Amino acid sequence: MKNNVLFLFTATYPSSNTWEYPRIESEIPHLLDQFDQIIILPSVVEGESRPLLKGVKCERTLAAALKKNHRIMLPNRILQGIRSSLFWKEYFSKFPITGHPKSVKRSSVWNAEALITAKWAEDYLKENKIGLQNCLFYTYWFETVATGIGWLKTRYPNLKLVSRAHGYDLYEERFSPAYIPFRKESLGALDRLFINSDYGNKYLSHKYPQYIAKFETALMGVCSTGKKNNPSPDRICRIVSCSNIVLVKRVDLLCEGLLHLASLYPTQIFEWNHFGDGPLMSKLTTLIQNSPTNLTIRLWGQTPNERILVYYTENPIDLFINTSSSEGVPVSIMEAQSFGIPVIAPQVGGIPEIVSYQNGYLLDPNPSPSEIAQAVWEMYTSPDITLKRRASLQNWQKKFNAKVNYQDFARQIRAVIDTSPIDR
């Protein structure tokens, strides 16, 4: 008989304002098959709360503690972080990269938030008289919360901790300088780290071979709506992309490629719909001001996931495009493939694990606008495009079906409670 509790640390769940919540909602029913109770612990509470399943509750006190810290002026938060001996241990052990001003800021703020998390967790366990023998702590992101819970293990060695790792919380090169604070300490405290691509697994195994036994590839997944998308019936080439408009996603590069495409083929009508928002939106709106008349561009901004799926259901789409410079295995591509939409994306990170020439088109890691234009035209006019659409759907069914992947993941993390920890 089951008698166990899962503490699930998330970014903003149960808010409906981020891409995170539909993934977690897909995962939770399978976690409930393995755990009696799930306590969701968001770092930020905002937006409209989602209804929760029986056996699931949302505890908001951690978010309140972190919010109180965020209200402190940044210089004071930095001072708060560097007062800790943990900061200085990190500073001297990894100097000179930790001496960079950006690294000092990052590690001090990281340290402060991790300490707040550790204190909150210890107080919560004491106040609620929670025994650790049947509990598992699971952080959806491998960042400050994982570090804080890991530090708590020094006083509670029976505490069991697992985490997922995706992209920005995994690849140090996404930051300048290339540094994520307390990486060795965080890895040392984990019982398992579930990485969302084989590429990411190899990346961490190469950088931290001493922890390789803790690493598992655990593919994400999406649920099917049961609908297949149809190609355009009217000779208009319809293109969709979906991402935050931030530097790593290179949406401006995609835009330049599509502008070049439209200028190359002035008699062909193109439509581009982008879902997502971010700090580089103003740059993007400037780029599209003088777009050719044969290219219609719609920037939808931040859009709830349900509305994106409805759009895929009700509107013809010929191609989905991703132009990121760094990725895990993008959930946005999984969603496109679940509708049978072929995908163009660069050979970076875990993308070759989901996109191939059988179901789409792989760009060079740093494509030029003309190469993006060429890829779109080759795909759109390919005599094999129907086969690529079919292969796209089959790839989702085989590798990225949420029901299959999350059932397996839930069994794997449940087993952590019953197994002895890996030597640290």
What strands, in cross-sheet order, belong to the sheet with 161-165? 56-58, 37-42, 5-10, 135-139, 161-165, 192-195, 215-217
Mean pLDDT (whole number) for 90-118: 93
Cis peptide before 316 (omega within 30 of 0): no
Q: Look at residue 59 and tell me whether its pLDDT is greater than 60.
A: yes
Q: Within 10 Å of residue 186's Cβ, how many Cβ atoms?
A: 26
Mean pLDDT (whole number) for 244-264: 96
Q: pLDDT (tens digit, 9 = 90+) per residue, 368-389?
A: 999 999 999 999 999 999 999 9
Mean pLDDT (whole number) for 184-196: 96
pLDDT category of residue 14 using cuts at 50, 70 and 90: low
Q: Where are the domains of the chain?
A: 5-221+403-418, 237-400
Mean pLDDT (whole number) for 107-120: 94
- Of 216, 340, 346, 331, nearest to 275 by C-alpha is 331
pLDDT score of 123: 94
φ/ψ of 242, rounded to 5, equals: -150, 110
Question: What stretches of 33-73 show up as alpha helix (H) in DSSP?
Answer: 61-70
CATH superfamily of 237-400: Glycogen Phosphorylase B; (3.40.50.2000)
Burial of 103 (0-12, 13-18, 19+ CB in 10 A): buried
pLDDT score of 130: 87
Mean pLDDT (whole number) for 302-307: 88
pLDDT score of 55: 92
pLDDT score of 84: 84
Distance, in Å, from the CA atom of 89 to the CA atom of 115, rounded to the nearest integer, reads 15
pLDDT score of 420: 52
pLDDT category of residue 359 using cuts at 50, 70 and 90: very high
pLDDT score of 306: 87
Average predicted confidence (pLDDT) for the chain: 92
Radius of gyration of the chain (CA): 23
Mean pLDDT (whole number) for 250-276: 97
pLDDT score of 339: 97
The residues with which 301 forms a beta bridge, in sequence order, are 275, 276
Q: Which CATH architecture has domain 5-221+403-418?
A: 3-Layer(aba) Sandwich (3.40)
- Of 188, 191, 113, 83, nearest to 420 by C-alpha is 191
Q: pLDDT (tens digit, 9 = 90+) per residue, 151-174?
A: 999 899 999 999 999 988 999 998
pLDDT category of residue 16 using cuts at 50, 70 and 90: low
pLDDT score of 231: 96
Mean pLDDT (whole number) for 285-301: 94
- Show the beta-strand stretches assigned E in 22-133: 37-42, 56-58
pLDDT score of 18: 59
Q: Look at residue 41 and tell me whether its pLDDT is greater than 90.
A: yes
User: pLDDT: is 423 or 238 the higher one?
Assistant: 238
User: pLDDT: is 192 or 44 the higher one?
Assistant: 192
pLDDT score of 131: 84
Q: Look at residue 17 and tell me whether its pLDDT is greater than 70.
A: no
